[in-house]
Amino acid sequence: MSQRVLLEMDIQGLKEVVKGYGYPAYRGKQIWDWLYKGTFEITDMKNLPWQLQERLAMDFVTGIPSIIKKRVSKFDDTIKYLLKYHDGSIVECVRLVYRFGTTVCVSSQVGCRMGCTFCASAKGGLVRSLSSGELLAQVLTVQRDTGKRVSNVVIMGSGEPLDNFDNAVGFIRMLGHKEGLNIGQRHITLSTCGLVPEIIRLADEGLQITLSVSLHAADDATRARLMPVAKKYKIEEVLEGCRYYAQRTGRRVTFEYALVEGRNDRPEDAQRLASLLKGMLCNVNLIPVNPVEGSGYRQPDRSRVREFKDMLTQRGIAVTVRREMGRDIAGACGQLKAGYIKEGNIGN
Ligand code: SAH
């Protein structure tokens, strides 16, 4: 029988497990406390009887991945991790330091099947989705490695979180556990390429997280060239889903817009985007595209980015330009992993 994952379980579940082995329920809470304090080896859980440790180690893995590569930016304390799970699956995870706190950007899947043409993670397709516990494990791993409390989480790494809906929502609820990490929903952002039925489902979950939607174009034809998912859902349907989300949750939706030279950075694009979003409870985050090898995409120059931003601002849209962080450490999506595989390492 395959081993189960300890981090998948809540306190009650852990209590049931130890009771099943003939131990008192409080032993379950002890296991929980060790994991959340960053003790990841069952044999290091010192207050557990050794017989219980052995039994647990037979039936369970913790779900914590090992750090196989770590790069620290010289410029801004950004840390990029390459993490390997017990089945050999590899994902990236990034720690970012802002004035307001420490953010971890987690990957929701190993690979991705959305196929965005500018994205390094899309290249090998989807390998598998990560479980809630495995998502949580990314945050716990960073917190232990840095010794600093993680205050914010963005589900914005590799993968499409709404293509892994139940585990993403389970993860969000786990983050908020008072006896766990205690990260409130207002400190969590989920980024999606725009799967409309799942956006609606998410709105109905009654969560208070920030929804971030990758728009990247202001007309369907341009969007479809950048993102195959645009062939399935028209921009108008995506926006309708976002309006529903904003109305249901009272939360402002963020639209991500990766600026790609000569593709979606014309004044007409800015104009059209402004009219699409007019009157909506939202803001726009412009991201000069990170050129991924082989894509042929380039960043527009600074003045063009500025011009695009100004056109939106003048039309009453709240807009920010994403600060580039950790550029010296392959900070962009999927690039560290791509480099690792290219160096001759085998990875999922
Ligand atoms: N699948 C989700 C989350 C993962 S990608 C989504 O599509 O939103 C997180 C964000 O990074 C998305 O806005 C994505 O479009 C963007 N992104 C991916 N590769 C990029 C690149 N090379 N340059 C700039 N932004 C990129």
CATH of the domain at 256: 3.20.20.70
Under a CB-based contact definition with an 8 Å cutoff, are residues 260 and 298 in contact? Answer: yes
Please name the amino acid found at residue 170: G
Expressed in angstroms and rounded, the spacing between residue 121 Cα and the centre of ligand 1 is 9
Q: What is the CATH number of the domain that holds 30?
A: 1.10.150.530
Tell me which H or E stretch contains 269: helix 267-277
Q: Whose CA is nearest to atom 8 of ligand 1?
A: 192
Of 45, 61, 77, the residue at which a domain comes to its end is 61
Q: Which residues are catalytic?
A: 92, 333
Query: In which domain, by residue range, is 30 found?
Result: 4-61
Of 61, 89, 104, the residue at which a domain comes to its end is 61
Which of 105, 138, 156 most suits a substitution to test ligand 1, by most atoms within 8 Å of the C-beta?
Answer: 156
Q: Whose CA is nearest to atom 5 of ligand 1?
A: 156
Under a CB-based contact definition with an 8 Å cutoff, are residues 135 and 83 in contact? Answer: no
Between CA 322 and CA 75 the distance in angstroms is 16
- The structural domain count of the chain equals 2
- Supply the pLDDT for residue 271: 98
**DSSP code of residue 301:** P
User: Is position 44 within any domain?
Assistant: yes
Which residues are near ligand 1 (CB < 6 Å)?
Answer: 114, 116, 118-119, 156, 160, 191-193, 214, 256, 258, 287, 289-290, 292, 332-333
Between CA 246 and CA 251 the distance in angstroms is 5
Residues 77 and 23 in one domain: no
Of 13, 29, 61, the residue at which a domain comes to its end is 61
Between CA 301 and CA 36 the distance in angstroms is 45
pLDDT (mean) for 54-82: 94
Residues 162 and 310 in one domain: yes
Residues 85 and 130 in one domain: yes
Q: Whose CA is nearest to atom 7 of ligand 1?
A: 193
Residues 23 and 92 in one domain: no
User: Is position 260 within any domain?
Assistant: yes
Residues 296 and 309 in one domain: yes
**Nearest Cα to 67, choosing from 43, 50, 91?**
91
Residues 99 and 182 in one domain: yes
- Supply the pLDDT for residue 347: 53
Residues 169 and 279 in one domain: yes
- Supply the pLDDT for residue 77: 87
Between CA 149 and CA 147 the distance in angstroms is 7
Which of 112, 117, 119, 293 most suits a substitution to test ligand 1, by most atoms within 8 Å of the C-beta?
Answer: 119
User: Is position 182 within any domain?
Assistant: yes
Between CA 149 and CA 51 the distance in angstroms is 33
Q: What is the pLDDT of residues 293-340, one digit of tens each?
A: 888 999 999 999 999 999 999 999 999 998 777 777 765 656 666 666
User: Is position 347 within any domain?
Assistant: no
User: Is position 245 within any domain?
Assistant: yes
Residues 16 and 80 in one domain: no
Between CA 87 and CA 137 the distance in angstroms is 14
- Supply the pLDDT for residue 240: 97
- The per-residue b/e assignment along 129-163, b for 16 or more CB within 10 angstroms, e otherwise, is bbbbbbbbbbbbbbbeebeeebbbbbbbbbbbbbb
Residues 159 and 222 in one domain: yes
Please name the amino acid found at residue 106: V
pLDDT (mean) for 277-305: 93
User: Is position 348 within any domain?
Assistant: no
pTM: 0.94
Which of 256, 263, 298, 321 most suits a substitution to test ligand 1, by most atoms within 8 Å of the C-beta?
Answer: 256
Residues 14 and 112 in one domain: no
Q: What is the pLDDT of residues 4-19, one digit of tens each?
A: 999 999 999 999 999 9
Residues 256 and 230 in one domain: yes
Residues 248 and 189 in one domain: yes
